[in-house]
Chain A
Amino acid sequence: MIQAILVFNNHGKPRLVRFYQRFPEEIQQQIVRETFHLVLKRDDNICNFLEGGSLIGGSDYKLIYRHYATLYFVFCVDSSESELGILDLIQVFVETLDKCFENVCELDLIFHMDKVHYILQEVVMGGMVLETNMNEIVAQIEAQNKLEKSEGGLSAAPARAVSAVKNINLPEIPRNINIGDINIKVPNLSQFV
């Protein structure tokens, strides 16, 4: 079983966080932070396996990661997964991203977070490896994108979805999100039409 899949950049900013086991948000943040610090210390030419992600699982679990340009791809897996197999899986995932986004870069992950998740969902489902054949994955993703296009994309929102978004209680969302020294201002969202 895969317990979690984390993608973060060289500065520890999470770009994709996918837990297959429930953790409260604070713990999730802590895990991302701790994992980042563990991974950051390591040179590129030492082994890609790490033991002792004390927060997730325990001794049965390993962190398996790969570093691509500005991004770290970290998988937390238990002993039922083959270590080298997971390394290959990361490679498959990254190559699929590359194919779907045509030269993927960190910005793609930021602006198309949903798409990245959809791709991941075709590779790993509920913590178990679903498909490892890249052509198959890409074919399914493209078929779904086509279906989406035929529906007119997000702009053709039906009344119910519009009302759902309208009903979101915007004042409840915190205006300012403070993470350490970074201060993010939430822009005033214009009404959804």
Chain B
Amino acid sequence: MLGYDISWAAFNIIEVMSASKFTFKRVGYLAASQCFHEGTDVIMLTTNQIRKDLSSPNQYDTGVALTGLSCFVTPDLARDLANDIMTLMSHTKPYIRKKAVLIMYKVFLKYPESLRPAFPRLKEKLEDPDPGVQSAAVNVICELARRNPKNYLSLAPLFFKLMTSSTNNWVLIKIIKLFGALTPLEPRLGKKLIEPLTNLIHSTSAMSLLYECVNTVIAVLISLSSGMPNHSASIQLCVQKLRILIEDSDQNLKYLGLLAMSKILKTHPKSVQSHKDLILQCLDDKDESIRLRALDLLYGMVSKKNLMEIVKKLMIHVDKAEGTTYRDELLTKIIDICSQANYQYITNFEWYISILVELTRLEGTRHGHLIAAQMLDVAIRVKAIRKFAVSQMAMLLDNAHLIASNTQRNGICEVLYAAAWICGEFSEHLQEPHQTLEAMLRPKVTTLPGHIQAVYVQNMVKLYASILQQKEQSEEKDAAQEITQLMIDRLPQFVQSADLEVQERASCILQLIKYIQKLQTKEVPVAEEVIALFAGELNPVAPKAQKKVPVPEGLDLDAWINEPPSDSDSEDEKPKTIFHDEEQRHSKHRQPEIDEEELARRREARKQEQANNPFYIKSSPSPQKRYQDTPGVEHIPVVQIDLSVPLKVPGIPMSDQYVKLEEERRHKQKLEKDKKKKKQKKEKKGKHRRHNSLHTESDEDIAPAQQVDIITEEMPENALPSDEDDKDPNDPYKALDIDLDNLVSGKPHRPLADSEKLPVQRHRNAETPKSPEKEEIPVIEKKSKKPKKKEKKHKEKEREKEKKKEKEKEKKGEDLDFWLSAAPSAASTAQSPNEPSLNTVMAVPEDYEEPKKEEREDEDDDEEKKSSKHKKKKHKKEKEEKSKDKKKSRKKKHPSEEEQVEAIQNGTLDDEPLPPMSSYCLLAENTFIKMTYDIQGNLQKDSQVTVSVIFENKSDSFLKSMELNVLDSLNTKMSRPEGASVHDGVPVPFQLPPGISNEAQFVFTVQSIIMAQKLKGTLSFIVKNDEGSTHEKLDFKLHFSCTSYLITTPCYSDAFAKLLESGELSMNSIKVDGISISFQHLLAKICFHHHFSVVERVDSCASMYSRSIQGHHVCLLVKKGENSVSVDGKCSDPTLLSNLLDEMRETLAKC
């Protein structure tokens, strides 16, 4: 609480929670909601307490319990309490209803299986008379739909109705947000939405609503790819409204306006670009959030024309920026902006390289690696720029002390990695390779991070090789030996490096160079061979290329190559292998001097092998890409700039020069073009002249400074184009991706499987009330029935036209289709020329809605496609089969769970399947209603039992104001809400629409439990149908058997033996003849109907135990003869025992 650990009080909190007074209960639940979580072990003790509070007659007890539960619900609690909460969703008090509705989302998250059974009722609540409940339901469905929108498309008509009728801004905002999530899936929905949304935009005064409307309209526009005539008008409206927001003095609106603007930008960059002035202005805002948003927008606004200008502005901001986070953000944005879409906006790469170099002067940035990656990428992929890039990198290496000196600038030294690599790889472009090599051999380098040093060492050799070649060609033998000596002198500092990679590379290379020195002294020319070490060009490889290499057929990557080692072995062997490795490494060090011939031979062999291997990314696909003969570079015209002065002085930004140069160049180009045009136009008549002055420079007119050849990144052959690797397998919302459509529509294509029903308290095997969902018919469907016929006719015509696209449709699909196409088809009657386009629009979603599985089947029985009638039948069959299959598979999924429950409940571990049993028996029945009931003892209170009554509406009328009243006896009393008299009935907390059943619980207080009891009672209710409403009554007798006071309690055999030995128990016995069922089933029956648990079972003899709510022990010995059963019982109360045995005799006689 308040950030302090109070878990030590967890148990005490539970005690306070169970206090009977609201005052304490509230405190207890508050504490629990603050400190309980899934890891709290005592949480499982609360289940029954919460259940009791949920069914409390006091609405605030229930409310407090719901609020508390919403904060600490666990999967176990969700499973056990889902049914109780479901019941509360139709509570009489809106206060409870809205809380119950809201908490269902939490329950769904923890126990996804509850979504299907609960969904119809949740949907019902969307039309609740209370606005609070309605808003809660909208809230929950919006949260659900946000994660898995496609399952909720069918609710669109309902939401649409709500949107047009609701006046609550909260609900409106939620619904509009939901539509934003739905439109990408269903373009027709967007068309229907635009009009009411634009109306809202015009009419509303609430900024929040306006903003959400604009947001959703944007989403709609994005989803509509086809150009509609009124399209641009809505965009204009949005942009215009957003501009008002951005120009508002309220910073919040400004921020949101920019946020929404960036969404438009993705699809309609043109309409945003006209507001560039505004956005650049926002860059100067004092608020960081707004600046960041404006930056995001800039990304989409650049063009070839304005890139340099924008980046220049950003560079100024970089210098001014105070916080490092903002500066880092600027840096990444600059790089993002420039590199987007494969550098399509960059016309001058020299400018870009110099920008990158300038960025290296940033202090304390974390994004050194980003800059480095850009440098490498540009240098590798833009061949024309290599010469310039190398000269810049050489300068960077020369000034490495500036970059690496300050420990604070840690991140930026990453650029040295890129610099070293570029200088090494493209060393042939270096002006003064000797100087660069010396720069790389400085002792200071050893302070750099290991991976950078490693690259240094590797690239020194490349440099060395190229210098060597140069010197040998110019016959300067002394100079060549000198450079070798330099290497031998300086390399040992790397050999001593602590970094293994550096050490290994350095010592290898040192040995190699010593060998070269030997050869040099013998005056053998070595340059050719040394340079051959690095022959071939490295091609850029796409980052995901490795992943995309398809696994060849027949290769199982998970299969063991060798026999898997046993567990015990691996532990022993591990240390051995480590030493083994090390030995190998040492041996490698010892023999680096393999003679050149051998090296060449091996390389040749490897090349051969690589050439034959289709999965190897070839290093040199064509000979022209080799270093020695790169023809491309020489004849590319490179603008000659005298850079000698500014380049040598670090610290002076020189990218500006390029901007100027670029401008001049463009100006020249333009002038030339204009001249040409003028010449052409002069020949024409004067009318056209005016156009000339209006001539605007479009992107296409700007020719890039260099002929730039941007190499695309390589991908393996037949790479898979999928991008599935971004999905998170641990997404908790994935579990909620459940198809709900069948439930929503009238036809139950896939009725709730048994395993999907919510677990009902304790009587799992009961013939659960027929799930209400099946009979329910959604309201919208009724309304739309008539026009549907027309629609069908219309569709049939279409079908004749397009036989190919003919496919069977589900009812639900039609419903939605109808709703969605209603407006456009009405429009189409008015303007018939539009019809063809409409048809195509409608045809697309047809395919779309067809589930994928069916498509597969369609392909299978392609031949039957022509006879569509046949197909329909077949489809239905298949569907039925499928739903069965699904049921089976679902059942299979939870067998362990169910078994566990069974074991606890019955105390038996049965392997045979048991016949279905129900503990519910008939209470009373007439033409309107049927009541079945079950009685359960209460563990906590020794004198209370709970009677669960299932009310089933058998009539076509609506039943309401149900009240249950019982004539209390001296011994047994019904507990009524506070303040009610003994003669008042207890209201049933729900109403029953036709065909629906529901369960209510009533608590009774019992004094003596040794005798069975019967209570007379009446249920009064109001029947409401078309003719009016009538008051009806139904009398019943509630039978409290002694069995119902027993609670299944497990008992260990030693405790059981002690109990029998104590001699305090009185004995009685019965014998029943004519029993034919197996002993197994017999025991199961006793366990289930009489709440016993098996203590021990030997052949056809078993001992059983149970306990009454008041603590009486009951022990049984059940023996089975040929076709008779004898039961010997011992109990602490003789009367109770004889009554129990009598009841048992009745049960057994039925077998």
Contacts and interface: CB of A to CB of B under 8 A. Distances in A.
A68 interface: no
A43 interface: yes
A153 to B, nearest CB: 6
A17 B2 CA distance: 5
A157 to B, nearest CB: 7
Nearest to B94: A136
A168 B12 contact: yes
Nearest to A172: B8
Contacts of B15: 160-161, 163-164, 167
A17 B95 contact: no
Interface string B12-24: 1001101111111
Interface string A147-169: 11001111011101101110111
A83 B60 contact: no
Interface in B1-44: 1-5, 8-9, 12, 15-16, 18-24, 26-27, 30, 33-34, 37-39
Contacts of A160: 15, 18-19
A126 B106 contact: yes
Interface centre among A14, A140, A148, A164, by most B CB within 10 Å? A164
A126 B103 contact: yes
B387 interface: no
B175 to A, nearest CB: 11
A176 to B, nearest CB: 13
A150 to B, nearest CB: 9
B53 to A, nearest CB: 14
Interface in A108-164: 113-114, 117-118, 121, 125-133, 136, 140, 143-144, 147-148, 151-154, 156-158, 160-161, 163-164
A85 interface: yes
Contacts of B9: 168
Given A25-B4, A151-B21, A129 B212 contact: no
A126 B12 contact: no
Interface string B125-164: 0000001100110011011001000000000000000000
Given A25-B4, A80-B177, A151 B23 contact: yes
Given A133-B132, A143-B60, A161-B15, A82 B211 contact: yes
A131 B98 contact: yes
A87 interface: yes
Interface string B249-291: 0011011100000000000000000000000000000110110
Given A117-B30, A118-B30, A143-B60, A128 B105 contact: yes
B27 A121 contact: no
Contacts of B27: 114, 154
B255 A49 contact: yes
Nearest to A84: B208
Nearest to A47: B251
Contacts of A14: 2-3
Nearest to A25: B5
Given A147-B22, A151-B23, A29 B3 contact: yes
B183 interface: no
A18 B132 CA distance: 23
Contacts of B23: 148, 151-154, 156
A47 B289 CA distance: 8
Contacts, number: 158
B8 A85 contact: no
A98 interface: no
Contacts of B2: 14, 17, 113
Interface centre among A17, A45, A46, A113, by most B CB within 10 Å? A46
A143 B61 CA distance: 12
Given A84-B207, A85-B208, A130-B98, A51 B292 contact: yes
Contacts of A172: 8
B70 interface: yes
| B interface secondary structure, majority | helix
Nearest to B286: A46
A100 interface: no
Interface residues of A, number: 64
B256 A158 contact: no
A147 B71 CA distance: 24
A119 B105 CA distance: 22
B22 A82 contact: no
A128 B140 contact: yes
Contacts of A25: 3-5
A157 B16 CA distance: 10
B143 A80 contact: yes
B251 A45 contact: yes
Contacts of A148: 22-23, 26
B256 A83 contact: yes
A42 B22 CA distance: 43
Given A88-B208, A126-B103, A128-B102, A118 B132 contact: no
A131 B132 contact: yes
B620 interface: no
A37 to B, nearest CB: 12
Nearest to B258: A47
| A interface secondary structure, majority | mixed
Nearest to A45: B251
A82 B24 contact: no
Given A151-B23, A158-B19, A125 B30 contact: no
B1085 interface: no
Interface in B52-71: 58, 60, 66-67, 70-71
A67 to B, nearest CB: 13
B515 interface: no
B843 interface: no
Contacts of B37: 22
B488 interface: no
B143 A1 contact: yes
B185 interface: no
B1090 interface: no
B1091 interface: no
Given A160-B15, A164-B12, A80 B30 contact: no
B269 to A, nearest CB: 23
Interface centre among B4, B131, B136, B290, by most A CB within 10 Å? B4
A91 to B, nearest CB: 12
Contacts of B290: 46-47
B170 interface: yes
A151 to B, nearest CB: 5
A166 B473 CA distance: 96
B211 A84 contact: yes
B173 A80 contact: no
A124 B587 CA distance: 69
Contact of B212 (A45, A82, A114, A140): A82
B1113 interface: no
Nearest to B66: A125
Contacts of B139: 128-129
Given A147-B22, A158-B21, A172-B8, A32 B3 contact: yes
A164 B38 CA distance: 23
Contacts of B24: 154, 157-158, 161
A23 to B, nearest CB: 9
A136 B12 contact: no
A48 interface: yes
B252 A87 contact: yes
A5 to B, nearest CB: 12
A121 B64 CA distance: 9
A1 B71 CA distance: 13
Interface in A80-101: 80, 82-85, 87-88
5 contacts: A18-B34, A47-B289, A84-B211, A158-B19, A164-B16
Given A25-B5, A140-B95, 7 more contacts: A17-B3, A80-B177, A88-B208, A132-B170, A133-B132, A144-B60, A154-B27
Top 3 closest pairs, chain A to chain B, by CB: A126-B70, A84-B208, A47-B251
Interface of A: 1, 14, 17-18, 20, 22, 25, 28-29, 32, 42-43, 45-51, 80, 82-85, 87-88, 113-114, 117-118, 121, 125-133, 136, 140, 143-144, 147-148, 151-154, 156-158, 160-161, 163-165, 167-169, 172-173, 177
